[in-house]
Amino acid sequence: MARGQRSSAAQASPDGVARGRRPTVGGDALAFAAGAVTPLAFSPYGIFAIAPLAAAVLFYLCSAVSGRRAFWRGWLFGFGLFAFGVYWVYHSMHVYGYMPPLLAGLFTVVFAALLALYPGLALYFATRFFRVTTPWRLLLVYPAVWTLAEWLRGWLLTGFPWLDLGYSQVAAPLGGLAAYVGVYGVTWAVAFSGGLLALLLHVRLRTGAILLSSVAVLWAVAWLLGTVSWTAPAGAAFSVSLIQGNVPQEIKWQRGARAKILQQYAAATRTRLGTRLIVWPETAIPVFYSEVANDYLRPLAAAARAKGTDLLMGLPVRDPASGKYYNAMLSLDGRSAFYFKRHLVPFGEYVPLRGLLDGLLDLLHVPMSSFSKGAWQQQPPHVAGYPVGISICYEIAFGAEVITTLPQAAFLVNASNNSWFGDSSAPYQVLEMARMRARESQRYVLSATNNGMTAIIDDAGRVRREAPRARAVILDGTVEPRTGSTPYVRWGNVPVITALVMSVLAGLWSGRRARRRRPSSAST
């Protein structure tokens, strides 16, 4: 059958399903394979072109089947994506949580299977309820519904925005859209590019050339937009040192190791006194603030102050009145100020439904796993003479939360204890998210970690300096404070989500019109 004839067949029914094409197991396997290779689009591999190509494969495979089959293929794609993309969950559960291998493996498989429901349900919804022609489905409905599913995954049940397609483009032309529409807008551009490529298989050669040109134009415009600067320097660049302690996770919380850890960080800090800002990673101090405030922190802060150095360090803080404790960053710039982590990791820093799952912490052996959430509105602490936007570990994945400190903050700091992930792709993925936050806000980001991916990221999302992994080192560099707001900082996700909802409504309206015209051919 000719390509143009295939297009007619695919558009013969109001829901865009080509009735002459039967679903095959081969198509299901291809959907899984497309999802399984998609993690290669993300760091540390960075083959960004895989993301729109994989989306094209999935959309094409779902465009001419029933809603039920579309769900199955979307789920298979998602299972491949998450099974190979977040496999490090097994490492965290087994190596550091001491969970038996079979139980850790089962937990990882179930976790990937649950995450795969998002793309599965998205493709089911887009195929089952949108009775539109194939071009409408591929260019309007699928990209919008896919992106909305990622957005839901980013906040529903506290959120897990790992492997959003937009992150794969942080160093690619489409990443230029980040300052305007954030990571979800970039995800839409990836999905829309995939829809254009999938449509190539439904059209004649001449129309195919137009579609390829459209992809090229979209990517070129995104690149050009990425060259526009919405922020400006707020002052001269200043020196920073990020201390990477490389403290093994298995000894970090042992009482006998505390003195050595404290001495290690103090000694490293004293070698850099005179640097304008020194940053320690998350929970670098493995004891409560009250236990080290006088004998340890006070003399260290005095020595730093005498040399014109400010300190920013991670440690737990306990409220003596309530007994609650917080995962915090402490700023010492002549006075003490705290940032308390707001977005906690479920089952890592707290247990949801604790009364029902009280024994889980004993099983996982997670130290200090009853943290309390910090207040949503917190004034940015000051270091090096500027307000700083702070996030701790997992929080860097939530762009809408990071921008709440902007435009006041002149730069951003993410402190992390990524030892939980071992030698996996997870720390690279976290750094990729930090780079996206830099592009969204056009601010420098300091990524201070315990054992790897410690880096200085500039306002364009480029890694300027990076420390070697699994070594105790000090990363020296400079930071340029900046002022101003990008469109994304001003408006957040509201414009892009509104546009996506309107696209969905337009698809539903178009489908209803099609059914009214041809009621006899409506299909379920």
Active site residues: 282, 341, 393
Rounded (10°) CA dihedral 43, 47, 51, 52: 150
Do 89 and 36 touch, CB atoms closer than 8 A? no
Q: How far lies 472's CA from each of 123, 240, 251, 285, in Å?
A: 46, 17, 15, 15
The neighbour count for residue 228, using CB atoms within 10 Å, is 11
Do 413 and 381 touch, CB atoms closer than 8 A? no
At 116, the amino acid letter reads A
Phi/psi for 417 (5° steps) reads -110, 85
The neighbour count for residue 267, using CB atoms within 10 Å, is 9
Report the alpha-carbon angle 503-509-511, nearest 5.
105
Rounded-to-integer distance, Cα 135 and Cα 115, Å: 28
The DSSP code sequence of 479-509 is: E--EE---HHHHHTTHHHHHHHHHHHHHHHH
Six-digit token pair at 190? 């990836």
φ/ψ region of 402 (left if φ > 0, alpha if ψ in -120 to 50, else beta) reads alpha
CA atoms within 13 A on the CB side of 386: 28
Rounded-to-integer distance, Cα 217 and Cα 192, Å: 13
H helices of 226-297, where? 249-252, 258-270, 289-292
| Cβ burial, residue 257 (10 Å; 0-12/13-18/19+) | middle
Rounded-to-integer distance, Cα 221 and Cα 256, Å: 57
